[in-house]
Every structure is written in structure tokens, then in C-alpha cells.
Amino acid sequence: MMILNAKSALEVLNECLKTGADYSEIYYQDAMGRTYTRKYKKNQGVDITRTRGIGIRIIKDDEVVYGYTPYITKAAMVSLARKLAEAFQGDRKKTVNKLVKKQYPVRSPIEKPFSLLNESKIFRYLLRGEKAAYSYSEEIEQVTTGLCETQEHVEIYNSDSIMTQDDRIRTRLVCNVVSKRGESLKSSYKHKGLSKGLELLDETDFEKMCLNAAKISIALQSAIDGPSGEFPVVLGAGSGGVLFHEACGHPLEGCAISNKTSPFADKMSTKIASDIVNAYDDGTIENGWGTLSVDDEGNQTTKNQLIKDGVLVSYMLDKYTAKRMGNGYKPTGSARRESYLFPPTTRMTNTYIANGISKKEDIIKSVKFGIYCEDFTGGQVNPNTDQFVFTSDTAYLIEDGKITKMIKPTTFVGYGYEILKRITMIADDGRREPGFCSSDSGSIEVETGQPTILVSKILVGGQGGQL
């Protein structure tokens, strides 16, 4: 059901175009979020958020203006449109005469909607995970468990005569465990999120997830200093994909490409990675954490192959960056934003490296001395140079083809374009993980993923010295 009046939307779009703009767009959002939390062995209650408003974007040549209002009325939209149109001086070049409703396949069917929610059941579910974590060791100091659910309805009306909508429901389970040994505090964080309803609870062994977090937290208490230098690094399935997301995914977004700040600008159809690398951004994965039926400017999402057999074959583009690129480039369903408070820009959805043919155990066996990184706590990338710095959360030494001692959080430094060329083995155990990505258009839900991957060498900054 469309909330906004199509006739009023048409009037607003034409008001935007009266000073010679090429394109106008209305974005309506109504989002509700609930977070259920247990901490200090108590229910912490329910945190409820609501975001509702309208954003208007106008494009003329290479110039863009954007504004927003929380008032959902025709008068508010017309007033905002007039103010934004004043940014341009010229005669009308385009008039929108009709709006055609576009309907796209539902990518994330919901089996158990939140209308079936039982609050006491949620807290009992979280309590079971909490008890499992505390049961592992007397050194477990604190366990925090939570369930986060969001329901979002968006509508897009634009001067390409399109009006469309999307309903997005996401659920995420989280667990953070802190252990204490003397004065030493170590934490471990685990989570799972999908574009699903309450069925996620049935599909998740939450007690096992919390128990695993407890085990890692305790193991970190005995972790040794890692080595420093350049070593082979095995990146674990799933969470290891965050490195590709940050160091390679962002430089393939249209904003970086069209501004020519990316090392991959003007590299289309050239070899940028090892022959065995195939990478995708796929907003169509059923129930994926970053899945959308349409992006935030009304384009249908796609399964967009970025790298094929090591060759760059596509970028991620929105309407604006595709226009700037020229040469027949088209939007790839990659326009995203956190809320109506932000204009859309090119962003990732579900980004991953595809499965290879190797086995995880064979990859480990092939490394005489190196590091197995199971998970990252975070990192950062310089978008202009593609240099990254990441810190491991859970990592181990590999010695004589075997995973041995856990090492303390360790930094990994390098350049994304170099890492792509240093991938020498890819396993067949691909897995995806949910996350959040912050950029110019706010914080959005993204999924990262990969199989187990061997990178021939990465600069590692541990504290244990060269071994």
C-alpha cells in the first residue's frame, strides 16, 4: 500500500523541475525499531525508535541538491521542493505527466511477522543464551544478550515516471561476553542477522552462539603475542569478508570510481586480482541481511558480478554516478541511505568472494608458518590510497600446517589491490555475516562473506617480534 498520494507526488516532482533540472525524486520512509536487552542478569527493557519523513533530491547536470522534512503533507513537500529548486537558474526542460507503479519480486519473505511477538518469550530466549555463557567458566564476568528488530516501509517517486515501494524487515541476535582474570578483561562478540522475522529465533542455536563467545573470551586470557612481519595469512570463512568489503568493495563503488579517487578507476576489463577470484555484490539473495527488492532511488536490485576470473567486469553504480561515468553505464541497484535524512549514494548490499575448489584443511596444511584469522574487530581504509589497517578479534598461529596457539589482537596492514593479487587458494566453504557500514549516506545494513582464503603475504603488526 502506497502511503503518499500519487497526484500530489507528481505535482511536487514537477515543482522540482521548474528551474531546468534533469531529475527529481521523492523518498518516503517510515521505520520502527525495537531492541530487547539482558545485562547484569536482568531484563533491561525495550528500546523503541521511530524514523519517519520525506527526502527530496534534484539533479541538474553534475550538481545535486537535497533536503528533507519530517512533515508528511503536500504543503511541506511543495515548500521544500520550491526551496531546493531555487539552487538552479534556468527554464524548465522536463515535465512529468504520469507515474507508473513498478512492482518487484519480494526478496525476503517473512514466515513469522513481529505481530506474533511475545515479549516475555523473547526475554526467556535471551536468558537461555546468557545462562549458557555463564556456565562455561567462573571467570565470565558479564554477559549481554539482545534481539534487535526493524520494520521499514519506503516509497520512491521520481521524474523517470516511476513510483515503487519496498517493505524491509530485519532481525538480529547479539551476544557479548566479558571474562575477568585478575585485572585482565577480555571480550568476545557474536551476532547473527537476516532479513527475516521471528523465524530467525527458531533457526539459531543461540545457546551455542553464546557459549562460543564465552569460550573465545576465556581463550583470549591466555593468548600470546603475535609475530611481526610479512606472513601468509589464512582468512576465515564469513567474517574474513569484511577485509574485501572495506579494502576492495568501497573502491568499486561509483562515488569513488566517478571521482577517480579509486585505484580501480579506468581499470574496467583489466586484470585486478588472482585468476581464481570471483566477487559479487548481490542485493537479491533471499533473506540476506543487506537484501532489498528495490534500492533507495527505485531501481531493482541485481546480482552484480564485480570480478570474473580476476578481471574487473563491473562497478556498483547509482543513477547519479552512472550518469557521470557515461559510456553506456547504467545503475546497478546500488543506491542506499540510512534514512530520509541522507541523500542516496552508491553502497554495497551483500558483497562476497565466491567459492573456490580447495578444502579448508588443505589450505591450512599448505602453510608452514603463518596466521589464521577467524574474525576481525574492525578496521579502516584510506579511500584515496586503498591502504587498510585491520585488527583481528580471533586469530591463531599456523605452525607446520596446523592451527596452534591463539594470539592477541593483531593488526594487518596492506593495500586492497595488492591483496586481491596475492590470493592463492580459495576453499569451498563460503559463509556470509551481517554488519553495518558507515559512509556519506549514513549507517546501513550490509552482508560480507567469503570462503576460507589464503593470501600469500600480509604485513602483520604483532608484539612478538619476527619468528
Residue 464 has pLDDT above 80, yes or no: no
Q: Which three cell numbers stand for residue 304?
A: 552484480
* Cell output for 258: 566517478
pLDDT band of residue 80 (cuts 50, 70, 90) is very high
For the entire predicted model, the pTM comes to: 0.94
Mean pLDDT of the chain: 94
Q: Which residue has the cell 503533507?
A: 73
Please check whether residues 206 and 247 belong to one and the same domain: no
- The DSSP bridge pattern shows strands 423-426 and 453-461 to be antiparallel
In terms of domains, do 195 and 129 share one? yes
* Distance in Å from the first CA to the final CA of the chain: 64
Tell me the pLDDT band of 246, cut-offs 50, 70 and 90: confident
- pLDDT at 97 exceeding the cut of 60: yes
Residues 381, 296 within the same domain: yes
Whether the predicted pLDDT of 463 surpasses 70: no
Task: Report whether 80 contacts 73 (CB < 8 A).
Answer: no
Calculate what percentage of the chain has a pLDDT beyond 90: 89
Q: Are 450 and 237 in contact (CB under 8 A)?
A: yes
Residues 300 and 440 in one domain: yes
**Is the pLDDT score of 300 beyond 70?**
yes
Q: Contact, 286 vs 196, CB < 8 A?
A: no
Query: Domain check: are 451 and 339 in the same one?
Result: yes
Nearest to 71 by CA among 63, 58, 80, 62: 80
Q: What is the pLDDT of residues 142-184, one digit of tens each?
A: 999 999 999 999 999 999 999 999 999 999 999 999 999 999 9
Which residue shows C-alpha cell 539482545? 146
Cell of 163: 513510483
Burial of 98 (0-12, 13-18, 19+ CB in 10 A): exposed
| 273 in Cβ contact with 307 (< 8 Å) | yes
CA distances from residue 23 to 42, 322, 344, 458 in whole angstroms, order as listed: 52, 14, 14, 45
Q: Which residues of 411-430 are buried (b: 16+ CB within 10 A; e: fewer)?
A: ebebbbbbbbbbbbbbbebb
336 domain residue, yes or no: yes
* Same-domain status, 91 and 140: no
Residue 391: inside a domain:
yes
Residue 1 placed within a domain: no
CA-to-CA separations, 366 to 62, 93, 200, 370, 398, in angstroms, rounded: 51, 64, 37, 10, 10
CATH code for position 198: 3.30.2290.10
Q: What is the pLDDT of residues 37-66, one digit of tens each?
A: 999 999 998 999 999 999 999 999 989 999
Residue range 260-288: mean pLDDT, rounded? 96
In a domain, 436, yes or no: yes
Residue 412 has pLDDT above 50, yes or no: yes
Q: What is the pLDDT of residues 218-228, one digit of tens each?
A: 999 999 999 99
Identity of the amino acid at 207: E
Instruction: Please tell me whether residues 123 and 146 are part of one structural domain.
Output: yes
39 lies in some domain? no
Give the pairing type, strands 228-235 and 350-353.
Answer: unpaired
Query: How far is the CA of 180 from the CAs of 217, 335, 356, 456, in angstroms?
Result: 9, 44, 40, 36
- Does one domain contain both 240 and 135? no
41 domain-assigned: no
Domain identity same for 353 and 272: yes
Distance of CA 463 to the CA centre of its chain: 31
Domain membership flag for residue 107? no
In a domain, 412, yes or no: yes
| DSSP symbol at 34 | E
Considering the domain architecture, whether residues 353 and 429 belong to the same structural domain is answered as yes
Question: Do 15 and 139 belong together in one domain?
Answer: no
**Do residues 353 and 244 make contact, with C-beta atoms less than 8 angstroms apart?**
yes
Same domain, 171 and 97: no
Per residue in 366-391, pLDDT tens?
999 999 999 887 778 887 788 889 99
The confidence band for 462, taking pLDDT boundaries of 50, 70 and 90, is: low
Enclosing domain of residue 349: 228-461
Domain count, the chain: 3
